[in-house]
Amino acid sequence: MSRLTEMGKAAKEASFVLAGLKAPEKNKALIASAEALEKNMDKVLAANKTDVDTAVENGIKGAFIDRLTLNEKRIKEMADGLRDVARLDDPIGEVLWMKTLDNGLKIGQKRVPMGVIGIIFEARPNVTADAFGLCLKAGSAVMLRGGKEAFNSNRTIVEIFREALENIGLPKDCVQVVEDTSRETATEMMRLNGYIDVLIPRGGAGLIQSVVQNSTVPVIETGTGNCHTYVDESADLDMAVNIVINAKTQRPGVCNACESLLVHEKVADKFIPMVTKALKERKVEIRGDESFEKAGAVPASEEDWGTEYNDLIISARVVKDIDEAIEHIRKYSTGHSECIVTENYTNAQRFLDEVDAAAVYVNASTRFTDGGQFGFGAEIGISTQKLHARGPMGLKEITTTKYIIYGNGQIRQ
Amino acid sequence: MSRLTEMGKAAKEASFVLAGLKAPEKNKALIASAEALEKNMDKVLAANKTDVDTAVENGIKGAFIDRLTLNEKRIKEMADGLRDVARLDDPIGEVLWMKTLDNGLKIGQKRVPMGVIGIIFEARPNVTADAFGLCLKAGSAVMLRGGKEAFNSNRTIVEIFREALENIGLPKDCVQVVEDTSRETATEMMRLNGYIDVLIPRGGAGLIQSVVQNSTVPVIETGTGNCHTYVDESADLDMAVNIVINAKTQRPGVCNACESLLVHEKVADKFIPMVTKALKERKVEIRGDESFEKAGAVPASEEDWGTEYNDLIISARVVKDIDEAIEHIRKYSTGHSECIVTENYTNAQRFLDEVDAAAVYVNASTRFTDGGQFGFGAEIGISTQKLHARGPMGLKEITTTKYIIYGNGQIRQ
């Protein structure tokens, strides 16, 4: 039995215990973990320093180092995150419906834990605490496989949680870190059917595609968002500028940021100068069609329409009408978040009905696609697939259901 | 662009039209398809005869030929099945919840079609009509890839549906059959991400495992059931015999049939002779532990505990108590349907809580795990995975959701 299979087995065993816990017991574990994390802050900072030093020695720099680096504030935030999760409603045990069949069988559908959740992520140590907290509250054990650059940080954080769990009499295998960060072990984890019930990749497009391509364990695909904002003929143009600027620049590096702007030809003459000015003030590069080129944009290539920049760049073009806008979105959308700005009732409804995405907006920034903003209290990622969960995933999205049937001797005729 | 990609593209286009149809339009299409099927019965029978003759020539026999063979009655049943689906409630368009956030955004979760559903199945031509009907009612286009032995039957049935759709002005690519039944094309279909939104295999364990292993498109795993019945100390033993006999023999070849019997040691002396007699009367072979051997059972091997016989065979053993029963089930269950027969309140609740399966029963036959029996009106398969759908899948289980958001200029702070 490989080390990973042993871990899977241990996680499954722990998951049976976890599934039987009541909400206060899980909350106690979360709070104890938060306290332990704060108490052992020095240990975490030391482990993180090793990771950061190694990364710097290896010539890594910029945003990667920023995401990898922990400080007191960030560790405190991780601990507070666990306390926040403790305050959320327990998703487990809810009976979604129950009815009595003609033969007297009472049948209900009940929300139960997933079992064992695998998370494969990159070099952000805060994912370790987030994922542990959400999975534990949802009654599932978690196996974490982070990027090798954050290995010491992840292992130290997880060791602190495991000790905290053990101290209150819970199985420490509720959370485990995969110690071998080789690609082979990642692939083995993607094929641990029978132990891991669902695998959630968190990270860049490359990581997510690798998991989708290689996993035989069911996957929830998260991530990429080539999000559009369409400014309709009847739009309030000041509102449209506000929404585009917010959706593009409030946090350009994330998946719900606007990447592409479509403008109805009847308002193009008026709107293009307005939006160009506002975007330029915020140092956004515009890659546009001829109409935008006339206003100073760089010419857009075919590739631009399909690109998620995650940067201060936006593609922009004029469309003939809402039909052409919907057609363009169907062709290039990744199905994340799409917005129409309009005062036209029929067009608003059409856009909501006809655009196939996790979140469709009328007159609001796509930046709202987020578990916290939607009021879920937490988020383990944003699903861009249609199976199981679509859009921001909170606690309920990492549970499953079972049918419970009460009989008194019924047999099938 | 490969033929399969072209088909995927055509299916996606058709799915946009389907997604916009109202219930009466979909019902009209279903009824027209049913009528066309009956009107063209001779054509279907002729195509089916070609398939059956070829299979017989190739030395195939028994149950396989029975499943492959169509007759007037079976075609009429297929047509009536489509009419039944027309009578079901439309699952599409329901808003599951809607609320207003503090910032005034109105956000709701709405049930929408999946898009394109792929079905890979074996040589049962009736799956063609079933799957078409359910997918169409759920607003999705379907790509069908049946076993090569049923190819002529499937193609003829699908051609009839496509003509019926075209006659009432709907895109015929709402349903397509994969004409190349090679293994390579099946594998290509499993990797048609971007066109097929979900793949559902229907058939034996080999087919299902092949899809799980090779698919990069999200899969709903259906099928295998190593279902247990546990007779507790306090069970009504006559009821227990009835339930075991029904679960094992009412239709032994299906996934919700009982494959393994566990008996509490305190009732073993009384129950084993009762159940052995009843099983023998129905020609069921028992593969048992020592206690059952004494009553004439064949000795069970370790392999027996994990085997789904799909036949008149049952494995049987004595357990010390409910803990040992639950432990045994955890080890060998495929997570399909599990039953306890008991009059003990606490044990009933413990079994429902602690056994991790799609359907858990107290005092009723596992044969009830079925979309029709559960009152869903239809069934496209029984999911044994935890993602998206678990247990019998009706129309709702082949839909997805989207978030719809009504704003009036909100931007994120």
Closest-CA residue in chain B for A191? Answer: B213
Per-residue pLDDT for A61 more than 90? Answer: no
Helices (H), B296-344: 302-305, 322-332
Q: Is residue A146 within 8 Å of A131, Cβ to Cβ?
A: no
Residue of B nearest to A19 (CA): B354
CB pairs A-B closer than 8 Å: 199
Residue A108, helix vs strand vs coil: strand
pLDDT > 90? residue A222:
no
CB contact under 8 A, A387 and B386: no
Report the distance separating Cα B385 and Cα A217, nearest Å. 10
Please, which residues have CB within 8 angstroms of residue A296's CB and are 6 or more apart in sequence?
A276, A280, A286
A360, A365, A405 member nearest B360 (Cβ)? A405
- Helices (H) then strands (E): counts for chain B: 15, 16
Q: In this predicted structure, what is the pLDDT of residue A123?
A: 80
pLDDT in tens, B148-207: 999 999 999 999 999 999 999 999 999 999 999 898 999 999 999 999 999 999 888 889
Dist CA A313 CA A144 (whole Å) = 34
User: B104: how many CB neighbours lie within 10 A of its CB?
Assistant: 12
CB within 8 A of A337, min separation 6: which ones? A225, A227, A256, A357, A358, A359, A360, A361, A366, A369
- Give me the half-sphere count of Cα atoms (radius 13 Å) on the Cβ side of residue A149: 20
Task: Say which residues have a Cβ less than 8 Å from residue B131's Cβ, sequence separation at least 6.
Answer: B117, B119, B121, B142, B144, B202, B380
Q: Which positions in chain A touch B205 (Cβ < 8 Å)?
A: none
Question: CB of B303 within 8 A of CB of B327?
Answer: no
Which residues in chain B touch residue A213, judged by CB atoms under 8 angstroms apart?
216
Chain A hits for B379, Cβ within 8 Å: none
Confidence at residue A63, expressed as pLDDT on a 0 to 100 scale: 83
DSSP B393: -
Residue A166 pLDDT > 90: yes
Distances (CA, A) of A171 to A29, A34, B48: 11, 17, 58
CB B221 within 8 A of CB B212: yes
Q: Are A372 and A346 in contact (CB under 8 A)?
A: no
Amino acid at residue number B314:
I
Distance from the Cα of A85 to chain B's closest Cα (Å) equals 20
Interface contact flag, B242 A411, Cβ < 8 Å: yes
pLDDT of residue B63: 83
Residue of A nearest to B242 (CA): A411
Which residues on chain A are in Cβ contact (under 8 Å) with B407? Answer: 361-364
Mean pLDDT of all residues in A8-15: 97
The alpha carbon of residue B108 is apart from the nearest alpha carbon of chain A, in Å, by 10
The single residue listed with the structure tokens 């090798």 is A148
Residues listed for chain A: 413
**Confidence (pLDDT) at A365:** 98
Q: CB-CB: which of A387, A401, A410 is closest to B364?
A: A410
pLDDT over 80 at A104, yes or no? yes
The span from the CA of A310 to the CA of A319, in Å, is 24
**Would you call B412 and A374 a contact, using CB atoms and an 8 Å cutoff?**
no
Chain A contact set for B367 (CB, 8 A): 411-412
Question: Cβ of B402 and A356 within 8 Å?
Answer: yes
Which residues in chain A are contacts of B16 at CB distance < 8 A? 330, 354, 356
Look at the block and give the residue holding tokens 């594998």.
B187
Phi, psi angles (nearest 5°) of residue A339: -135, 140
How many Å lie between the alpha carbon of A79 and the closest alpha carbon of chain B? 24
Contact A36, A163 (CB under 8 A): yes
User: Does the structure show a pLDDT above 90 at A375?
Assistant: no
Share the mean pLDDT of chain A: 96
Cβ contact B86:B35 at 8 Å:
no
Looking at the complex, report in whole angstroms how far the Cα of residue B181 sits from the nearest Cα belonging to chain A. Answer: 23
The list of chain B residues with pLDDT below 70 reads none
Question: Pick from A200, A162, A196: which is nearest to A15 by CA?
Answer: A196
Q: Where are the beta strands (DSSP E) in A82-160?
A: 95-100, 106-113, 116-121, 141-145
**How far is residue B387's CA from residue A173's CA, in Å, rounded to a whole number?**
23
Phi, psi of A83 (to 5 degrees): -65, -40
Confidence check: pLDDT of A223 > 80? no
The pLDDT of residue A403: 98
Is the pTM for the entire model greater than 0.90? Answer: yes
Pairwise CB contact (< 8 Å): B405 & A19: no
User: From the list A20, A112, A218, which residue is nearest B387 (CB)?
Assistant: A218
Integer Cα distance of B14 and B5 in angstroms = 14
Across the interface, whether the CB atoms of A19 and B354 are under 8 A apart is answered yes
Rounded CA gap, A157 and A164, in Å?
Answer: 11
Contact B402 A358 (CB under 8 A): yes
Residue A205 has pLDDT above 90, yes or no: no
Averaged pLDDT for residues A36-54 = 97
pLDDT for A386 equals: 94
Distance CA B45, CA B180 (A): 22
Q: How many whole angstroms separate alpha carbon B285 and alpha carbon B298?
A: 8
- CA distance, residue B408 to nearest chain A CA (Å): 5
Pairs from A180-185 (Cβ < 8 Å, separation ≥ 24): A180/A3, A180/A4, A181/A145, A181/A146, A181/A147, A181/A148, A181/A151, A185/A4, A185/A145
B411·A367 Cβ contact <8 A: yes
Q: What is the mean pLDDT of residues A269-294?
A: 98
pLDDT given at position A48: 97
Task: Give me the pLDDT at residue A379, please.
Answer: 87
Cα-only R_g, chain B: 24
Nearest CA in chain B to A196: B386
CB contact under 8 A, A411 and B107: no
Indicate the pLDDT class of residue A378, thresholds 50, 70 and 90: confident
User: What is the pLDDT, as a whole number, of residue B124?
Assistant: 87
Contact call for A401 and B390, based on CB within 8 A: yes
Strands B106-113 and B95-100: antiparallel
Interface confidence: ipTM more than 0.90: yes
What φ, ψ does residue A84 adopt, rounded to 5°? -60, -45
Show residues of chain B in contact with A358, CB under 8 Å. Answer: 402-403
Give the CA diameter of chain A: 78
| Per-residue pLDDT tens digits for A110-163 | 999 999 999 999 888 999 999 999 999 999 999 999 999 999 999 999 999 999
Between CA B203 and CA B206, with CA B205 as vertex, the angle to 5 degrees is: 95
CB contact under 8 A, B409 and A246: no
pLDDT band, residue A376 (cuts 50/70/90): confident
Instruction: Return the pLDDT at B181.
Output: 87
Instruction: Count the alpha carbons within 13 Å of B33 in the hemisphere toward its beta carbon.
Output: 38
Q: What is the pLDDT of residue A82?
A: 96
Check residue A237 and give its pLDDT. 98
- What's the whole-number mean pLDDT along residues A250-270? 96
Task: Give the CB-side neighbour count of residue A352, counting CA atoms within 13 A.
Answer: 24
Residues B389/B397, Cβ–Cβ less than 8 Å: yes
Tokens of B226: 């190593």
- Which is higher by pLDDT, A63 or A88? A88
